[in-house]
Amino acid sequence: MADSMAQLSRSRDLDKLLLRPGHLVGPTFEPGPDLRDDLQQYARVLVVGAGGLGCELLKDLALSGFRNLEVIDMDRIEVSNLNRQFLFRLEDVGKPKAEVAAKRVMERVSGVNIVPHFCRIEDKELEFYNDFNIIVLGLDSIEARSYINAVACGFLEYDSDDKPREETIKPMVDGGTEGFKGHARIIVPGVTPCFECTIWLFPPQVKFPLCTLAETPRTAAHCIEYAHLIKWDEAVKRAELFGIPGVTYSLTQGVVKNIIPAIASTNAIISAACALETLKIATGCSKTLSNYLTYNGVEGLHTKVTEFLKDKDCLVCGPGILIELDTSVTLQKFIDLLEEHPKLLLSRASVSHHGKNLYMQAPPVLEEMTRSNLNLRLFDLMDKIPKDIIHVTGTTSKGDHKTSCLRKLRVVFKGIDGVTDMDMAGGA
């Protein structure tokens, strides 16, 4: 009884958005109870990350009428999470975040089903991600965002006029916070800029090789990092000598690297904005954010929406890097080419074609299963299609920093597409 009352009052608020027409609605919006039922029945949303933002997102989405949610996170709960990752309790420390978060929201919000995935985002097959209507990101790393962005953009196909094909668009909503600042943005691949189009928004990540710090320092930053990383014991002794308490490694990290604590209210505000955008994308009940909201609560409160533009040459959300090959090229030769290609420089590549694994570097069991393909012609492995999209994952290095990445390639086999000699001669 209490349950059905709670459901009724919950859908009452949602109904105000979904059952009535309005002036600010999206172009395809059709108000009515069917819309609410469809949202509950068919909309499938993946939340990436079950930390500060993820806990908020799951709760917000569940309370916004979404019923089919999944969450993926590789971390276990730590004591230091408990001040803001409010779904977790002291007895949960050490347990997987995704599993506990899913369980807690399902206990509190009746009717919602949340499937947890306790693993790395790279461990899932690409098709796993294709199963969702919307992907919502509650992450704290650029690498992870970049990866999911490439996965979602990888599904995008262009028609012959280079227009994105509607049914292949996988929208994402991305939230991020740093102390009292945060952002919420929507990424509609092929329509709005993707994460990679605006990667310049993030300051470069500075990391120094240890040998440079120890042997051949060249900059002031190298000296500071040397004291921080290598002379740590001596630094601690100095504090002891002068009787100064509190010189801990984490405080040093905070001072040197300007690490900012996560703030619960910022997470709540950013997640709310992201959940609302997700609801808008799923139902069309209002026009979506266009396309990047920044929030700053450092002094007072300031929010602003900026419309960023797509990078037309983007390697990730564009039509794909064109690679021309002879039909004789084997899969092994192709993988070698990826390593030398100036735009790719991709090592240890795994290759898939329309969800079928042609070669996988890992796990060992898949490597063994696909190894025999290496000597076969790529043209045959791609079902003799003269021109098609294939996906490759691998590692690429920037300086000393290796990141895993996914790239979409347009493979064209020379001498097959277009008019052949046989056609000219009127042959079969």
What is the nearest approach in angstroms of Zn ion to the Cβ of residue 325? 25
**Distance from C-alpha of 380 to C-alpha of 382, rounded to nearest angstrom:** 5
Q: Please, how many CA atoms are within 13 Å of residue 356, restricted to the half-sphere of its CB?
A: 9
Q: Do the beta carbons of residue 52 and residue 76 sit within 8 Å?
A: no
Would you say 51 or 190 has its CB closer to Zn ion? 190
Number of helices (H) and strands (E) in the chain: give both, helices first.
15, 13
Distances in Å between the Cα of 96 and the Cα atoms of 70, 86, 262 are: 14, 14, 20
Q: Do the beta carbons of residue 261 and residue 179 sit within 8 Å?
A: yes
Would you say 116 or 190 has its CB closer to Zn ion? 190
Would you say 191 or 227 has its CB closer to Zn ion? 191
Strand partners, 390: 409
Exactly one of 211, 274, 285, 405 is catalytic; name it.
211
What is the nearest approach in angstroms of Zn ion to the Cβ of residue 309? 10
Type of residue numbered 351: V
Note if 211 is an active site residue: yes
Would you say 186 or 262 has its CB closer to Zn ion? 186
For binding to Zn ion (CB under 5 A), which residues are involved? Answer: 194, 196-197, 314, 316-317
Classify strands 181-187 and 172-178 as parallel, antiparallel or unpaired.
Answer: antiparallel
Tell me which residue has tokens 């276990």.
Answer: 76
What is the nearest approach in angstroms of Zn ion to the Cβ of residue 396? 16
Residue closest to Zn ion when measured from CB atoms: 314
What is the phi/psi pair of residue 300, to 5°?
A: 65, -145
**Distance from C-alpha of 210 to C-alpha of 219, rounded to nearest angstrom:** 14
What is the nearest approach in angstroms of Zn ion to the Cβ of residue 5? 47
Distance of CA 371 to the CA centre of its chain: 29
Strand partners, 114: 69
Q: Which of 37, 58, 48 is nearest to 107 (CA)?
A: 58
Would you say 314 or 323 has its CB closer to Zn ion? 314
Would you say 164 or 297 has its CB closer to Zn ion? 164
Q: Do the beta carbons of residue 358 and residue 409 sit within 8 Å?
A: no
Would you say 306 or 372 has its CB closer to Zn ion? 306
Distance of CA 269 to the CA centre of its chain: 20
Helices (H), 88-161: 97-108, 126-130, 142-154
Token pair for residue 91?
A: 């007895």
Strand partners, 398: 401
Q: Is the Cα dihedral 148, 149, 152, 155 positive or negative?
A: negative
Non-local (6+) Cβ contacts of 288 within 8 A are 26, 186, 277, 280, 281
What is the nearest approach in angstroms of Zn ion to the Cβ of residue 313? 9
Catalytic residues: 211
